[in-house]
Amino acid sequence: MNTWLEGSTRNEVPAGKRLRAMLECDEILRVPGTHNPLAARLAMREGFEALYISGGAVTSSLGLPDLGVMMLDELCFITKMVARATDLPLIVDGDVGYGGTLNAMRTVQELEMCGAAAVHIEDQLLPKKCGHLNDKRLVPAEEAAAKIAAAKKAARDMVIIARTDAAGVEGLDAAIRRANLYKEAGADVLFPDGLTSEAEFRAFASQTTGPCLANMTEFGRTPHFTADQFQDFGYKIIIWPATSMRVAGYAMRDLYRHIREHDGTEGFEDRMLTRNESYEAIGYHDFEALDDSVAKSVAPSFTGEAKRMAGE
């Protein structure tokens, strides 16, 4: 497998064009959230063809709340690192565009230069909140539409996704009206957040034009639905936005409890990637092979790893 150091091997088709081609397929596009490059590599190795970068997941990994306090340069850094590690089309959470209309245009330009295929911009006021939380504040629909139009103007190949949080604030009918306004302004994909039932998802998809994105986050307002169910509801993309961060956080919490209780990590190895597994995930030996002076590394033998590889 080629590494990102071999620049001539990079995909020459812009990420946005690759994502648009995926949206032409009949099958719903399944897009897991990846909050850092290692998560992205693991998702890629499991066969996913597009990835999502969640503002909420990235801010949590930075030890910050999802209130619009993360800066654009921090989001761009993660986007660039994930794009470099995978070269897959990335859908990136652009929050409110990091400010007004001009800021949204810069957000589009910066993320596209970092390798993003798509960005979604929402219609909340700062400080923004997760779409599944209470008491969100919205900008006027016309102002949000103007921001979407500006974002579309700034894009080269990037897919512009308009997210509306209106369903939980003004009601589903208002969310549908806003979404159609955003579509007229140039949005390529529509994203209703915080819907609470199959009926709401079906109504939104049937009363708007163009492809729609569904957010299947855990611990929110939306009941669990499968990708196949969302496809039946009329959706073209499903994201699982912050799951990788939540799973990683859960595992790390258990690790630190184990160290505290057992004064070390012995007995926890079966809940870790082995050294070889982590090397495989990042393509360690592919990098080594680029330099003849570097001997291929051989990991120390470990009984637990041998058992895992044997399926015991």
pLDDT of residue 286: 87
Residues 182 and 297 in one domain: no
Residues 213 and 279 in one domain: no
- Dihedral sign of CA atoms 145, 151, 154, 157 in order: negative
pLDDT of residue 301: 78
DSSP per-residue letters across 217-282: -TTSSSPP--HHHHHHHT-SEEEE-SHHHHHHHHHHHHHHHHHHHHSSSTT-GGGS--HHHHHHHH
Residues 36 and 164 in one domain: yes
Range of the domain at 278: 273-312
Quote the radius of gyration of the chain (alpha carbons, Å): 21
What is the residue type of 176? I
| pLDDT tens, residue by residue, 84-114 | 999 999 999 999 999 999 999 999 999 999 9
Q: Report yes or no on 250 lying in a domain.
A: no
Q: Report yes or no on 263 lying in a domain.
A: no
Q: In the numeric block, which tokens belong to residue 90?
A: 């990335």
Residues 141 and 207 in one domain: yes
Residues 48 and 195 in one domain: yes
Q: Report yes or no on 84 lying in a domain.
A: yes
- Rounded Cα distance, 260 and 98, in Å: 40
Phi, psi dihedrals of residue 163, rounded to the nearest 5°: -100, 135
| pLDDT tens, residue by residue, 221-278 | 999 999 999 999 999 999 999 999 999 999 999 999 999 999 999 999 999 999 999 9
- Counting the structural domains of the chain, the total is 2
Residue 262, SS3 per DSSP: helix
Residues 37 and 181 in one domain: yes
Residues 149 and 277 in one domain: no
Residues 183 and 287 in one domain: no
Could you tell me the CATH number of the domain that includes residue 25? 3.20.20.60
Confidence class for position 198, pLDDT limits 50, 70, 90: very high
pLDDT of residue 26: 95
- Rounded Cα distance, 160 and 180, in Å: 14
Residues 39 and 139 in one domain: yes
Bond into 223 cis (ω within 30):
no
DSSP per-residue letters across 166-184: GGGTT-HHHHHHHHHHHHH
Confidence class for position 134, pLDDT limits 50, 70, 90: confident
| pLDDT tens, residue by residue, 1-54 | 678 888 766 788 999 999 999 999 999 999 999 999 999 999 999 999 999 999
Enumerate residues 6+ apart whose C-beta is below 8 A from 74: 58, 62
Residues 11 and 146 in one domain: yes
Q: Taking a C-beta distance cutoff of 8 angstroms, is the pair 90, 35 a contact? A: no
pTM for the model stands at 0.93
Burial bucket for residue 205 (CB in 10 Å: 0-12, 13-18, 19+): buried
Q: In the numeric block, which tokens belong to residue 137?
A: 């504040």
Residues 158 and 299 in one domain: no
